[in-house]
Chains A and B, each alone.
Chain A
């Protein structure tokens, strides 16, 4: 089952070509993570899939229907997007923010139906924001704020959710917290989640499907264990790295080499791996 599909998609930013003739299929009900080096066009691709950016050429299909010819309000009932670092006006409360997610379902006379109320409460609940619903968004910490915005996108009640770097500027605890919320939504409600992430290790941990972008197109895609290899990392990020299994979940973990430093790895120190892993487990536990 395909949630989103691009057909010969070409994207430009001003004069420069960002994505060239891309054919991509995003599986339904799964977590898909777009990765790639800075400026590779992953955010641009995500934005175009959410019809925030008009393609130069080609089509984008949402559940088999071309988004270019579907009314924007209809799309908003099926697909939500959380852009990178959004800002709320000063003094806006969490609940007022989350309520805006109901926009496509409302009209000027019906602005708070029982369904609106139920969806907003559910979104607040699943992001753990119920307690903070009367607080001003600008008075919250970075992690809470991001959860408020995620709650807004959830309140939209869409099957597909796109997020552009939802963990940027968050510390490790809050990064994991935000991704856990998204993982839970995917597991319990079978929502399709498509996001751009910078952290390769977290991407591998949470993704069912990884799409690695390079040179204006997809370099590799598939399950993290098949996709994330030293070769992929070298090609996509121009970096030498070891890939080892994540000591907790067994998903691929990328350990980059540094330039000019002598490593402990190698035949002479067979325990190096073991030491590194037990330290890592200690940190996570």
Chain B
């Protein structure tokens, strides 16, 4: 059997790797299974059959309340945040050409943190309704600052990373300063936000996140072939006709828009943007058309499962999801540093 599948007609044509298709299908099934199990697990156990029935509107009343009011929005938010963070990292790693790049390593997450923590500590009376937009703006402003500081006849990946890491430290310092100088009663709330949590997510969060993430994923998909040539280096990309600086800026925008939205709703959940793309690349290779959906699903799985552990393993304690993504992510990051130490 041929290794590839050609889809071609008058108006469109694609070349798909069969292995990638298979991996994508398996992951989709896994994600759905994890989704169903996650919905069914909790203080009240609901069997997968009943979960599916309820999802399709044919379930019993008692399940409906638990699923639709409490669990479903939270799990959907976890899923969307995971996908958004992971794809954000995939874009960054592609355009910066560095496997260690991710929104929480080049400073985007920390920029969002300063905005969110600033709002929580300096304006504790302002409605939490403002937290997501302010956070998103924070991510965008910091990304713009990093980009402008890195600009010198165009932006090279290495300058972007170095400036990003520098800015990240500044942002982390400001965040600490805000936490330390704020009234003590605010500290737990801020700390939970910094760790990242999907506790208390509601349908409003879903309705904001869902269209935004889907839109950004579609736009990113349209630029997939551009990520592919940027991965080969600026000279190659420019040689085959990509306006490199403009394309990098557009893709950086998608990356920030995805990470910013995820952080705005779920807080500074770390390492998903690093872990997701790495696992995805191991599964299907670096070609972006295949990498994007796989990376999205891997990220969704990580956050969904981390949250499942967080809310069940130490019941009745409901631990922030960020604790578990860090618990897997931090050792993995050290492993990556170790593996890449000679490069």
Contact = CB atoms under 8 A, between A and B. Distances in A.
Does A pair with B?
Answer: yes
Interface of A: 47, 50-52, 54, 72-77, 80-83, 86-93, 96-97, 99-101, 103-104, 106, 108-114, 116-117, 134, 136, 152-153, 156
Interface in B1-32: 3, 6-8, 11-15
B229 interface: yes
Contacts of A47: 235
Nearest to A93: B285
The interface residues of chain A, by DSSP majority, are classed as mixed
Nearest to A96: B287
Contacts, number: 101
Which 8 A-B residue pairings sit nearest by Cβ, starting from the closest? Answer: A76-B241, A104-B241, A73-B241, A112-B15, A103-B240, A83-B235, A89-B286, A109-B12
A91 B229 CA distance: 15
Interface size class of B (residues with CB under 8 A): 20 to 34
B342 to A, nearest CB: 14
Contacts of A114: 8
B233 interface: yes
B242 A72 contact: yes
Contacts of B12: 109-110
Nearest to A156: B240
Nearest to B290: A96
Contacts of A156: 240
Given A72-B241, A72-B243, A75-B241, A112 B286 contact: no
A111 B7 CA distance: 10
A153 B232 CA distance: 13
B14 A111 contact: yes
B41 interface: no
Contacts of A116: 13
Contact of A81 (B15, B239, B243): B239
Given A89-B286, A90-B286, A100 B228 contact: yes
Contact of B240 (A54, A92, A104): A104
A50 B285 contact: no
B281 A90 contact: yes
Contacts of B6: 112, 117
Contacts of A80: 239-240
A116 B242 CA distance: 18
A99 B232 contact: no
A112 B15 CA distance: 6
